[in-house]
Amino acid sequence: MSKAPKKKRKKLTAKAILGLIFVLAFIVVFVCIGITWRYIDDFDDSHYGTAFTLTHTASEYIDGEKVIGYYENRETDDYYVQVQESLELLRSEGDLNRMYVFVPLENEIVTIWSTDSDGNALGVRLVFEGEFKKCAMGAFSDDSEQNVYFNEQNGNKLVITSFSPIRDKGGKPIALVASEFQGENIIIKIAEFNLATLGIVLVSGIIPILIFYRKTKEGVLMPIKRLNTAAKQMVGDLESEKPVLPDIHTGDEIEELSDSFGQMNRELRDYIGQLRLATAEKERIGAELNMAKDIQAAQLPSTFPAFPDRKDFDIYASMTPAKEVGGDFYDFFLVDDDHLAMVIADVSGKGIPASLFMMISMILIKNRLKAGDSPSAALEKVNNQLIETNNIKPKQFVTVWIAVLELSTGRGKAANAGHEHPVLKRADGAYELVDYRHSPPVSLIRGLRYREHDFEMHAGDRLFVYTDGVPEAMNSEHELFGTDRLLTVLNSDQNASPRQVLENVTNGINAFVGDAEQFDDITMLGFAYYGPDEGNTDIS
């Protein structure tokens, strides 16, 4: 699976610069929006206020009765000229485009005065429609008490027309005064004003920002950069005993962080030194455990076939410790040419103590059997010997199964000191568990007498003995392998050689356990007898 491309990191300095630029841009935009809004508000107050004043002044000044006469007769007089001049004066003073007076009809207006007609506006008719008509008629009402405005965009210029009614003596509106002025190019004015504002903000803002950036760089960015460099140096040279100490004196939390980093660096190097020593010690212990494992394995019979010249029996055994060394052991040897001793045992506990106790027990048992003791007598003497020297707390003990078989006759004697039940297969039968009452384990009770049982094997009979690591092998579901599964595996290949029997059981355990960790030592011994087939059929 391909790795995702490494994301490019931004430098802290670049982030700081971008952040300051963003803050400055935000201030500029915020100020420009506020000033634009305020400028437009002032523009409205100024221009609309001027329009209202001039239009209202003209409507109050002009005689409504005269307007009716000019509309009906189309004849001018001195008053007409006087109004024309007054309107021109108001237009000039108010910086208007024009001022005019008209009578609104259904679909047209009749002009009475207009400042852009050189006094020839009387009676001029123009189309009266659209939004202009709607606004004008809104002002031309009996109850209109305020000016009405009509705004029209002419290119990029705003044209504003203010209406105010002229009333007769009865207060009825008879005509409208219109004041039209052209607003400056608002967009250009706002742009010019904002550019000026931008210049002021930049000049007044960039200097403190630069000062702030310089202080930030000296007090924050550069110390953090030195910390980063020191961290990389520390990671790149962990083997060095000299600590990496960044020289930072900012008088704030960054200096505290630097001091903490230095302290962490010193403690880390101390820890690495201790870990190095612990690792070396662990390797030494591991080497010694491997040596102990080799020594322990050397004490167990490991050459197979064990007796290549003997055709009257076959034997095979194995021991798989749960740790580097184990507490289980097996043994088999010829006491003389006609007697075979078989031993399998399990020492309580695991590891080095169990291994030492196992070797002592194995040597003592072998010496007693070699000296001609019966299985029960050997256990009684070894039990007393072990109790004399067993001062370990908690006290260790060992479960043992011993059998001595006379090969010429198939008769034998067996003793079981708290060990697992053996499994026997007769030549014409299946593997079956031989279940009976045991004696207590060895090294628990001083002066204990052990039971001994006679048995006899026939040609073709097979024997399988084991430690509790076999039935107590556990899978990830905390299920035990058990004796039922053991018998199933043994009977799946009833005529297998002792070696094949052990391989079959090992494979069965491995398949059952899966990835679960081995909890206990697993020791097994298989025996096949090919001698005479006669006598007793009991084995204990």
* Residue pLDDT, tens place only, 155-165: 666 778 888 89
Q: Please tell me the distance from the alpha carbon of residue 374 to that of residue 440, in angstroms, as a whole number.
A: 17
What do you get for the CA distance between the two ends of the chain, in Å?
60
Could you report the per-residue pLDDT of 379-391, keeping only the tens digit for each?
Answer: 999 999 999 887 7
Give pLDDT tens digits for 249-276: 777 777 777 777 777 777 776 777 777 7
3-class DSSP state for residue 96? coil
pLDDT tens-digit map of 181-235: 776 545 566 667 677 777 777 777 677 777 877 777 776 777 777 777 777 776 6
pLDDT band at 10 (very low <50, low <70, confident <90, very high): low
Strand partners, 164: 177
State the CB neighbour count (10 A cutoff) for residue 223: 21
Backbone angles phi, psi at 273, to 5 degrees: -60, -45
What pTM did the predictor assign? 0.53
pLDDT tens-digit map of 315-358: 999 998 877 667 899 999 999 999 999 999 999 877 777 888 88
What number is the average pLDDT over the span 516-538? 79
Q: Which helix (H) or strand (E) holds 500?
A: helix 498-513
| Domains present along the chain, CATH in parentheses | 13-184 (3.30.450.20), 304-529 (3.60.40.10)
Residue 535 has pLDDT above 50, yes or no: no
pLDDT band at 311 (very low <50, low <70, confident <90, very high): very high
Checking if the pLDDT of 136 tops 60, the result is: yes
pLDDT band at 24 (very low <50, low <70, confident <90, very high): low
Q: What is the rounded CA–CA span in Å between residue 296 and residue 182? A: 113
